[in-house]
Amino acid sequence: MRPEEPIAAQSPIQSSPTAAPRSARFWYLAGMCPYFCAVGLQSVLFTWLMTQVLQASPSQVGLAQMLTMLPMLTIILLGGVAADRRELRRHLIILQALMAMLPLALAASIGMGRLSYWVLVFISVSIGVLGAFVVPARDAMLSLVDDGEMQRTITAMTGLQFASQIAGLILGGFASTLAGLMGSGPSDPAGAIGLLALQGSLVLASAWFSSRLPTVRPHAPSGGAFANIAEGFSAAMRDATIRPILLLMFCIGTLFTGVFLVQIPLMVRDVYQGGSAVLAVLNISFMAGTTLVVLALRRMHPVRGQGRAMMLACCVSAIVIGLIALSPPLPVMCLLAIFWGGSGGVTMIMSRSLVQAAAPAQSRGRILSIFQLGYVGGAPLGSFAMGLLIGWLGVINAVLVPAAGLAVTLAVAYFASGIWRLRQ
Q: What is the pLDDT along the chain (424 residues), one digit of tens a residue?
A: 333 333 444 433 333 334 445 678 888 889 999 999 999 899 889 988 998 888 888 888 878 877 887 777 778 778 878 877 788 889 999 999 999 999 999 999 999 989 999 999 999 999 999 998 998 888 878 777 766 666 677 777 877 887 898 899 889 888 888 888 887 777 788 888 999 999 999 999 999 999 988 887 765 555 666 777 777 777 777 777 788 888 888 888 888 878 888 888 888 888 888 877 888 888 889 888 988 888 888 777 777 778 888 889 989 988 998 898 888 999 999 999 999 999 988 888 888 878 877 777 667 777 777 787 777 767 777 888 888 888 888 888 888 898 888 888 888 888 877 777 776 6
Domains of the chain: 20-211+224-423 (1.20.1250.20)
What pLDDT, on the 0 to 100 scale, is given for residue 148?
Answer: 60
Task: Give Cα 385 distance to the centre of its chain.
Answer: 19
For residue 92, how far is the Cα from the chain centroid?
Answer: 18
Neighbours of 193 (CB within 10 A): 20
* Residue 161 pLDDT: 83
What sign does the CA torsion over 421, 366, 151, 163 have? negative
pLDDT for position 221: 58
Which residues touch 57 (CB under 8 Å, ≥6 apart)? Answer: none
Q: Residue 245 to residues 72, 257, 306, 336: CA-CA distances in angstroms?
A: 18, 17, 11, 25
Nearest residue to 43 (alpha-carbon basis) of 200, 265, 194:
265
Counting Cα atoms < 13 Å in the Cβ hemisphere of 65 gives: 38
Q: Alpha carbon of 172 to those of 198, 216, 285, 288: distances in Å?
A: 10, 35, 14, 16
Give dist(CA 84, CA 420) in Å, integer.
31
- Which pLDDT value is given to residue 92? 93
CA distance 247 to 174: 38
| b/e map 263-284, b = 16+ CB within 10 Å | bbbbbbbeebebbbbbbbbbbb
Q: What pLDDT does 362 receive? A: 67
How much is the pLDDT for 205? Answer: 96
Supply the pTM of this predicted model.
0.68
Question: Torsions phi, psi of 235, nearest 5?
Answer: -65, -40
Q: What is the dihedral of CA 179, 181, 186, 188, to 10 degrees?
A: -40
pLDDT of residue 18: 41
Sign of CA dihedral 345, 346, 351, 353: positive
Which residue from 311, 252, 250, 259 is spatially nearest to 282, judged by alpha carbons? 259
pLDDT at 33: 93
Amino acid occupying residue 178: L
Helix (H) or strand (E) holding 7: strand 7-8
In a 13 Å sphere around the CA of 62, the CA atoms on its Cβ side amount to 19
With 0-12 / 13-18 / 19 or more C-beta atoms within 10 angstroms meaning exposed / middle / buried, residue 208 is middle
Helices (H), 259-305: 264-270, 276-299
CA–CA separation, 188 and 418 (whole Å): 52
Q: What is the radius of gyration, based on Cα positions, of the chain?
A: 21
Helix (H) or strand (E) holding 422: strand 422-423
Residue-level pLDDT at 332: 93
Torsion of CA 10, 73, 394, 123, to 10 degrees: 130
Phi, psi (deg, nearest 5) at residue 102: -70, -50
The predicted pLDDT at position 2 comes to 38
Which residues are within 8 A (CB) of 64 and not within 5 positions of it... i.e. 6 or more apart? 50, 56, 117, 120, 121, 124
Crossing angle for the helix pair 400-416 and 242-258, to the nearest 10 degrees:
170
